[in-house]
């Protein structure tokens, strides 16, 4: 069964807005930073993730402009879809001491 034909039930936070940051971990097999480890405060909002017998996945959509992103969000709102999570990747710069 392809990914597009599987039913997806999107997880939503239980208590409201949550903002967290965390590191990406290096995956030896991939030779890349490709693993996200969720912090406890995130897991508290998504307790379903503790269930080892259920399968979970992720979906990434990358928009190249705010205009396209806004259009998509308005479509989601009209359809009553789950509010998407915002996700940024960033490189942490080291503090340069003189």
In angstroms, rounded to a whole number, what is the distance separating the alpha carbons of residues 11 and 40? 16
Bridge pairing between strands 24-27 and 32-36: antiparallel
pLDDT tens series, the chain, 98 aa: 445 667 888 887 777 788 888 888 998 998 999 899 999 989 998 899 999 999 999 899 999 999 999 999 999 999 999 889 999 888 888 877 76
pTM of the shown model? 0.69
The CA-atom distances, in angstroms, between 66 and each of 69, 73, 75 are 5, 10, 14
Show the 3-state SS of the chain: CCHHHCCCCCCCCCCCCCCCCCCEEEECCCCEEEEECCCHHHHHHCHHHHCCCCCCCCCCCCCCCHHHHHHHHHHHHHHCCCCCCCCCCCCCCCCCCC
């Amino acid at each position: 069964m392809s990914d597009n034909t599987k039913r997806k039930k999107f997880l939503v936070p239980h208590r409201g807005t949550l903002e967290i940051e965390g590191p990406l971990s290096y995956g030896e097999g991939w030779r890349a930073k490709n693993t996200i480890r969720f912090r406890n405060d995130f897991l508290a909002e998504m307790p379903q993730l503790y269930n080892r017998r259920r399968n979970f996945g992720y979906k990434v959509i990358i928009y190249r402009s705010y205009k396209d992103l806004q259009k998509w969000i308005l479509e989601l709102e009209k359809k009553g879809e789950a509010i998407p999570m915002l996700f940024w990747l960033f490189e942490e710069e080291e503090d340069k001491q003189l």
